[in-house]
Amino acid sequence: MKLHYATALLVAGLLGAMPAYAASSDSNSTIGQSPAADCFNAAQAVSRPGNALSEPARVAALSNCAEALSGKISSKDRTATLVNRGTIEAASGDLTSSLADYDAALALNPKMADIYIDRGSALMRVARYEEARASFDHAVSLGGANTYIAFFNRAMAEEKSGNVNSAYLDYKQAVALAPNYQPAKDELARFQTVLRVRGQG
């Protein structure tokens, strides 16, 4: 079997998007938003395709994330806030800080597959495809509700690395897990399998 495919361009926002992570609401804060909530809202904004923060908004968002992390918060909320800050940093091109925050979040919760997906997506932004694939491998091995996104993103990393057959299989798996996930269906539609007679070509 030979695999034919149309060339795909990796577009920012084409990667399976991951949601921002909501920290628990602070029962002592009844007026206004908490710094953790502001951090979450900024991460949620940049996680949508085509959205970006202005420089003042980015600085304010990172300040809110830092303020939330400097306070006494639960391990779960700390993990969420680290991931949210990592998402904001990745969106603004600060890969070093983003990876540091994702790794710190994984140190707190190494079984959270979605963090590996976010980490891999950040690496994809700077064309570090092999490292991205390794992060997606972790996410796939852990499973979870967003495994189809891990397969989809890993397929993109594999295709950019020249592993077309592996990419095709991962796009297929993403569609099998989430039949209505249109980005995976669109990518899979570019491929055509052709049976080859033994001894020809």
Taking the CA atoms of residue 133, residue 136, residue 137 and residue 143 in that order, the dihedral angle to the nearest 10 degrees is -170
Mean pLDDT of the chain: 84
96-103 contacts at long range (C-beta below 8 A, 24 or more positions apart): 98/122, 99/123
User: What's the pLDDT at 51?
Assistant: 83
Is residue 17 pLDDT above 60, yes or no? no
The region, left, alpha or beta by phi > 0 then psi within -120 to 50, assigned to residue 61 is: alpha
Q: What is the DSSP letter of 196?
A: -
User: What's the pLDDT at 192?
Assistant: 81
User: What's the pLDDT at 10?
Assistant: 31
Distance in angstroms (rounded) separating the CA atoms of residues 124 and 128 = 6
Segments of the chain assigned E as strands: 2-5, 191-194
Instruction: Name the residue with higher pLDDT: 125 or 155.
Output: 155
User: What's the pLDDT at 66?
Assistant: 96
Q: What is the DSSP letter of 49?
A: T
Is residue 79 pLDDT above 60, yes or no? yes
* Chain region(s) in the chain for CATH 1.25.40.10: 123-196
Question: Mind listing the pLDDT tens digit for each residue in 32-46?
Answer: 578 999 999 999 998
Joined tokens for residue 31: 């007026």
Distance in angstroms (rounded) separating the CA atoms of residues 102 and 80 = 10
User: What's the pLDDT at 9?
Assistant: 29
For the chain, percent of residues with pLDDT exceeding 70: 80
Distance in angstroms (rounded) separating the CA atoms of residues 151 and 174 = 5
Joined tokens for residue 170: 């991962």
Residue 193: closest CA among 55, 28, 1, 31: 1
User: What's the pLDDT at 95?
Assistant: 94
Question: Mind listing the pLDDT tens digit for each residue in 170-196?
Answer: 999 999 999 999 999 999 999 887 666
129-142 and 147-160 helices, crossing angle to 10°: 160
Instruction: State the CATH architecture for 123-196.
Output: Alpha Horseshoe (1.25)
Q: Which CATH code fits 33-110?
A: 1.25.40
Question: Mind listing the pLDDT tens digit for each residue in 35-77?
Answer: 999 999 999 998 887 788 999 999 999 999 999 999 898 999 9
